[in-house]
Amino acid sequence: MIIAIASDHAGVQLKAEIKEFLISQGVDCRDLGPEGSSSVDYPDYGLKVAEMVSRGDVERGVLICGTGIGMSIVANKLPGVRAALCSEPVSARMSRLHNNANILVMGGRMIGAVMAQEIVKTWLATPFEGGRHEIRLGKITVIENKYSNEIKKS
């Protein structure tokens, strides 16, 4: 599996730890930055990963900022992106089973590396359940299409 990962300065330490963990799990991990810990704006880095997932260039993405909230807001602006902010493994599991989440978001200032690894492990191992959840995701796509078409018209 190919996974794109990025963060802002508040998530750069956890990004390095999770990148190493992903590689140890045999994941082809594409690090889209940042490299250092200088202050950067999370929308710039959230967009990089969300664009790759939205275009289908990678199967999944991981985003980390201080709380995970900013990255979630940015990523979910893009068509086809289902970004889930998780701070424990149960939410990570449900985000795959019910929401078919394709971007995992975590807060680098909220959780430690061990918890983050457990979240990632669960998120990678859990399949989408489909069935009734497919119908619900279809409704989200309808909403997404409706409003993006309205924006295009105006």
Residue nearest to ligand RB5 (CB): 70
Q: Least distance from C-beta 107 to ligand RB5, angstroms?
A: 7
Q: Is 98 a catalytic residue?
A: yes
The residue annotated as part of the active site, out of 9, 65, 86, 133, is: 65
Stretch that binds ligand RB5, among 64-72, 81-89, 120-128, 130-138 (CB under 6 A): 64-72
The DSSP result for 51-79, as a single string, is HHHHHTSSSEEEEEESSSHHHHHHHTTST
Query: What's the rounded Cα separation, in Å, for the pair 55 and 43?
Result: 18
Interactions with ligand RB5, residue window 11-50 (CB under 6 A): 42
Nearer to ligand RB5 by C-beta: 66 or 97? 66
- Residue with Cβ nearer ligand RB5 (61 or 70): 70
Buried b (16+ CB within 10 A) or exposed e, 44-68: ebbbbbbbbbbeeebebbbbbbbbb
Q: Which is nearer to ligand RB5, 27 or 34 (CB)?
A: 34
Strands (E), 75-154: 83-85, 103-107
Contact 32, 4 (CB under 8 A): yes
Site of interaction with ligand RB5 (CB under 6 A)? 8, 10, 42, 65-67, 69-70
